[in-house]
Structure 1
Amino acid sequence: MDVLVLGGTNFVGRHIVRALLDERHRVTVLNRGTNPVWGARVTQLVADRTDPASMSAAVRAVFDAVVDVSGTEPRHIESTAPLLRSLGVPRYVFISSGAVYDSTTTALPFPEDAPTPGDVIWGTYGTAKADCERLLRHYDFSELVMLRPPYVYGPGNNEQREQFLWARMLAARPVLVPGDGTTRIQFCPVAHLAETVVTAVAGKVPAGVYNVGEPAAYSFDDYVVALAGAAGVRRATVIHVEDRTIAAREYFPFRDYNFILDTSAGRRAGIPAPVGLATGLAETFAWFRANTDLPYEPTARESALLASLGTSDR
């Protein structure tokens, strides 16, 4: 198949492109050209999704399917979807987010049919993703699949999450955890997200909206234990930060709210099961250990908190 990937040169996009190539699809990526395209088998189109004219100039061929990794604002959809629809693209796979749900009004785990105003804890990100979804429905693609993952992790992650905490453990520094450590969150291995996209591109997932990720949820404290196990650290020192007026993201890689999705609809639709967190983190740690130094660089808030507790950040 001829597949157009919108984005394709960062963390999630790279895994998706690689998975598509593994299935012998012909892959074209469209982005602003700020990151190099890797691999001779990938064709690149350069355009700015905020500029409809540049999109029209760049996209002229007909594709069997489109995978949208970079659509994060309504204007990205408005400049792209009408053009692709006019070219006769039937199959559109959109990478959305579990941030479209509202944790203040929806019980856990969030099901796909819950309201999607976007959670204010994500700022404008969740509301913008929800707006993108609504616009895509308006353009009436015959085979529209929208995937909503929770936190995505894996080799090459460009978000400071698992590697942020590994850096502290390997430097024998304390890990600061919000509250009492019982906040529960959920994960999606990037390889699982890529595999789900490939399955949808092949037409093996019915049109619709699917939460995608590991069914299990983990407390912050359980997550730290899993990270330590993957890194071969016997025991990580955890300090709970009880002052919840301090934004968790100033010293911890996740927002302090329960973030759990119901993934059962995807399993019923034939989406393959992901690996468990322990396996996924072991693979991820091996990649980071081989490719980075995992440097410990405390945040300003982290240094201040440790100092207030009489603990040096060095």
Structure 2
Amino acid sequence: MAAASSSSYSVASSLSSLRFTSSRYLPSLTHYYLPSTPFPSLFSSPSPSRRSSYRPLTRRPTFSAKAASVDRKSVLIVNTNSGGHAVIGFYFAQQLLASGHDVTVLTVGDEGSDKMKKPPFTRFSELVSAGGKTLWGDPAKVAEIVSGVKFDVVFENNGKDLDTVKPVADWAKSSGVAQFLYISSAGIYKTSDEVPHVEGDLVKEDASHVGVEKYIAELSFSSFAIFRPQYMIGSGNNKDCEEWFFDRIVRDRPVPLPGSGMQLTNISHVRDLSSMLSLAVENSIAANGKIFNCVSDRAVTFNGLAKLCAKAADRELKLVHYDPKSVGVDARKAFPFRNMHFYAEPRAAKEVLGWTGTTNLPEDLKERFQEYVEIGRDKKDLKFDVDDKILESLKVEVTA
């Protein structure tokens, strides 16, 4: 494991006036929680031990994502047109609309592009039917696209680097947006001997998301928050995760896992991610200046995930393990997950927002397998060239 660096974010002078109202200090944009400081300043210096220094809130806030009445807000969702994160914007929009908010979704690109023929974009009519608005275009031209419409909240769910996010953030600040939310990534945490990752752990300073997080903090919005997701599951997701397992299981092929298969990871249903985001909108003061690990509160091993996928498909599992170096393959190309322990804990969301997770992998995987069959992927002619190389090296026969 790489050693953790002692470097920390520099304190932005414009943030020094921020104050928190809890009797206990709360997770914020800081590397570690400081035991001697009731309310940590943003980007404060690390303490020797994150575990011993963190103290939970004495009273849990009573916020609820199902509040009977909320202040109606106008929300702009800047949504990516590719990758797994696109479905976050879709679910978030659904939940906001159900709660009575005004929602506009600006998706990168052209409405007539091939990308829009895939989920979740094929379900955008559901948003329109619920009263939402959908737009397409270049987020760098957001001022022109929204034509002067005023928004209370902007949710940036597209950019991974500052060049992409800066035009949106600058426009939001100059147009008087009160709250800015940004989807970052839990992948920016440095590897550590101590897991899971919690808010405040050291991050990779050269990661592009880190530069974006810093910049947003320095803009001094009335409220801002950072969300760091990992892997996700849910209807409308178009990035392979559980599908990788289903592809092999339904074809009676061995499922090759790198290493022992005991590596831990985190897979969250996207409804949990959207509920966390919704709570931040409805409780903008509590969420201000915070990092939230946007994840489930349970981990799963690769072996366990394979078994759950086989059970969801009601098929037999043929599991094999291999050493990528010995076989001569790049695990990043052979397997859709990081070949290591990689999971985070949603500590801040529970303590600050009163969030509760609902992810139930056994049941959620059944839903996903049903959709897998409905779209006919179980009948598609797929190539398994990398698998075959691995299995040949292991002298494992493929009878399918």
1:259 — aligned with what?
Answer: 342
Q: Deviations over 1:257-288 (max 9, x none)?
A: 11121222211121222222223222322333
Distance 1:100 1:146 in 2: 12
Confirm or deny that 1:230 pairs with 2:318: no
Confirm or deny that 1:306 pairs with 2:391: yes
Larger mean Cα displacement after TM superposition, 273-282 or 129-138: 273-282
Distance 1:256 1:285 in 2: 24
Distance 2:300 2:252 in 1: 23
Instruction: Indicate conservation of the 8 Å contact 1:5/1:69, yes or no.
Output: yes
1:197 — aligned with what?
Answer: 277
CA gap of 1:86–1:218, structure 2 versus 1, over 3 A, is same
Distance 2:296 2:201 in 1: 19
Distance 1:45 1:214 in 2: 30
**Ranges in structure 2 where 5+ consecutive residues have no aligned partner:** 1-72
1:250 — aligned with what?
Answer: 333
Distance 2:196 2:153 in 1: 31
Q: What does residue range 164-243 of structure 1 map to in structure 2 within 5 Å? A: 164-203=244-283, 206-207=287-288, 208-233=290-315, 235-243=316-324
Distance 2:202 2:342 in 1: 15
Partner SS, residue 227 of structure 1: helix
Distance 1:79 1:300 in 2: 42
Distance 1:15 1:198 in 2: 10
The one of 136, 143, 157 equivalent to 1:46 is: 136
Distance 1:201 1:287 in 2: 31
Instruction: Indicate conservation of the 8 Å contact 2:110/2:137, yes or no.
Output: no
Distance 2:362 2:383 in 1: 26
1:272 — aligned with what?
Answer: 356
**Ranges in structure 1 where 5+ consecutive residues have no aligned partner:** 119-123
Question: 1:93 offset after TM fit, Å?
Answer: 1.7
Confirm or deny that 1:114 pairs with 2:201: yes
Distance 1:170 1:43 in 2: 39
Q: Deviations over 1:128-166 (max 9, x none)?
A: 122211111111112112111221122222111101111
Confirm or deny that 1:153 pairs with 2:236: no
Look at both structures and tell me which one has the larger radius of gyration over its CA atoms: 2
Question: 1:55 offset after TM fit, Å?
Answer: 2.8
TM-score of the superposed pair, with normalisation by structure 1:
0.88
Distance 2:323 2:249 in 1: 21
Distance 2:299 2:234 in 1: 17
Partner SS, residue 398 of structure 2: coil
TM-score of the superposed pair, with normalisation by structure 2:
0.70
Distance 1:78 1:44 in 2: 22
The one of 223, 238, 253 equivalent to 1:143 is: 223
1:5 — aligned with what?
Answer: 77
Confirm or deny that 1:20 pairs with 2:96: yes
Question: 1:220 offset after TM fit, Å?
Answer: 0.9
Question: 1:106 offset after TM fit, Å?
Answer: 6.2
Equivalent position amino acid for 1:80 in 2: V
Instruction: Indicate conservation of the 8 Å contact 2:80/2:159, yes or no.
Output: no
Distance 1:292 1:198 in 2: 34
Instruction: Indicate conservation of the 8 Å contact 1:7/1:13, yes or no.
Output: yes
1:121 — aligned with what?
Answer: none
CA gap of 1:289–1:201, structure 2 versus 1, over 3 A, is farther
Q: Deviations over 1:84-109 (max 9, x none)?
A: 11111111121111111011x46211
Q: Deviations over 1:30-71 (max 9, x none)?
A: 23343456223332333323x4xx233224221111111112
CA RMSD between the two structures = 2.2
Distance 2:370 2:385 in 1: 29
Partner SS, residue 29 of structure 1: strand
